Chains A and B, each alone.
Chain A
């Protein structure tokens, strides 16, 4: 069977909703990556005579503002396209940071046991009892907003979930015969964890990561909406909607377009995440 036939057979077995949501997610990734090529205007070029124009208005040069303009006369379509970039970048980077910290600490706790286990897992419990958005708000407010702070704060507040999963999985895997065998053969702890334990616990960690990815997108947008995330003039869906809140009676497009993109992106991530989880863990199935 050729590769193309194999792919076709696979697609035929995949539910329609997954194909649609998968394509949607790919589209968002493409838009984010190629934002400079796709945006019809410079997203930060202001024009005070063209403020709050509705979708479809023409510019003096005859180019149409497909999604209208914002309160400073900037092209909304270009800003939404660049906003996809900010959203995806922050989410990917912060998921990466939290995945790294969480799985390292979780594996360490599950492997070393004793006081290391007690200290790390207690810390996880404590972190989980401070609502993440509040801790992030406090940390960003203290450290000052910005791209790097945002990624670090989100990454450093959302690692405990990975730690819990990595810990539980490592406990299970560590008792398996092949691990004991590798240990007897003289493999170092680092090698054992990275080469033998990690590949075996990667599936459940990936499931957590997909769920967290959707949450991170929502967190970034929420913090930016509150003025604590990505700072103007850098375009972000949250900041555009924050401006839209002020012009709620005059400019619906400032809320509907970035909000719609945000919803569709998170929806596609959540639907795909559920699907991945159902395939890896049939017990937690959400569809019958």
Chain B
């Protein structure tokens, strides 16, 4: 176990480092990063002063090292628009996005996993096809379409729910469904494949032969074994949900990091955008690491299998 832990940790650190490198170069895509950081209509002197202040007059390798050193000290830079550290702006929005992504994950797992299990266990029954159709449809719905249609129906026409913003706990319902739909399909497909895979294995036949009821075999053994790939997907989906928040939060005026990203782009506050991309990617890496370690804990084959 310690060996696996160490190698997996090193891998995560290397990935984080790679993410920082990619973000560093993407920020320089426009040629002159200083122009991204000054407000529109800034004077020549102002631009040159900022260039020196931020070190953009240095050779690129030195800029790169400074950038990495800053990140190691958890310095994400200071917003040029609001004049406060980018991290402070980001931090005030994180709880909203976490609440939204968490609620969306509940929607996705709560609907997706049962749908997948039903499709796998009762294969070929009449209700398999409509469920399969809903799953494929969910996968083809753009989040902003689901969102706007729900606003039209539940907020404008029926007036059951607030159309946007944060106004009590019921505000999260529509954004969470819009965001969770796509993941719901992913969970349904993965759960279905995992359960079908497990149902074909010898231990299922052995359990049935020993006289266990099919319900017991599925509930006690199949679901447990099928949960391993589903946990992996959950980890991947958390990253997708955080990224998908950028569209859903714009539709519902939800004050999380997605809405912040778009506002920051519109006000040309690129250090804030950079901070958001770094933060979400880091969360993604950490969650994946946690998932890997979690199922190394569940499944001894992973712990001892590799040499």
B residues in contact with A126, CB < 8 Å: 15, 18-19, 21-22
Residue B105 is within 8 A (CB to CB) of chain A in the complex: no
Which among B139, B141, B163, B261 has the greatest number of chain A C-beta atoms within 10 A?
Answer: B139
Closest residue on chain B to residue A245 by CB atoms: B148
B residues in contact with A266, CB < 8 Å: 140, 142
Are A134 and B280 CB-contacts (below 8 A) given A255-B148, A284-B193? yes
A residues in contact with B128, CB < 8 Å: 288
The smallest beta-carbon distance between A267 and chain B, in angstroms, is 4
Which one of A122, A226, A241, A259 contacts B262 once the chains associate, using CB atoms below 8 Å?
A: A226
The smallest beta-carbon distance between B295 and chain A, in angstroms, is 18
> Are A133 and B246 touching (Cβ within 8 A)?
yes
Residue B187 is within 8 A (CB to CB) of chain A in the complex: no
> Are A139 and B29 touching (Cβ within 8 A)?
yes
Residue B240 is within 8 A (CB to CB) of chain A in the complex: yes
> Are A286 and B281 touching (Cβ within 8 A)?
no
> Are A228 and B265 touching (Cβ within 8 A)?
yes
Size of A's binding interface in residues, CB under 8 A: 48
The smallest beta-carbon distance between B32 and chain A, in angstroms, is 11
> Are B14 and A122 touching (Cβ within 8 A)?
yes
Which one of A127, A218, A248 contacts B148 once the chains associate, using CB atoms below 8 Å?
A: A248
Residue A83 is within 8 A (CB to CB) of chain B in the complex: no
Which one of B139, B242, B284 contacts A129 once the chains associate, using CB atoms below 8 Å?
A: B284
> Are A271 and B136 touching (Cβ within 8 A)?
yes
25 contacts between A and B (CB under 8 A): A122-B14, A125-B11, A125-B18, A126-B15, A129-B284, A134-B280, A134-B281, A135-B22, A137-B265, A138-B26, A139-B29, A141-B265, A214-B140, A222-B144, A225-B144, A226-B246, A248-B151, A248-B152, A255-B148, A256-B149, A263-B141, A263-B145, A270-B139, A286-B192, A286-B193
**B: which residues have CB within 8 A of A?**
11, 14-15, 18-19, 21-23, 26-27, 29-30, 36, 123-124, 128, 132, 136-137, 139-145, 148-149, 151-152, 156, 163, 189, 192-193, 239-240, 242-244, 246-247, 250-251, 261-262, 265-266, 270, 273-274, 276-277, 280-281, 284-285, 288
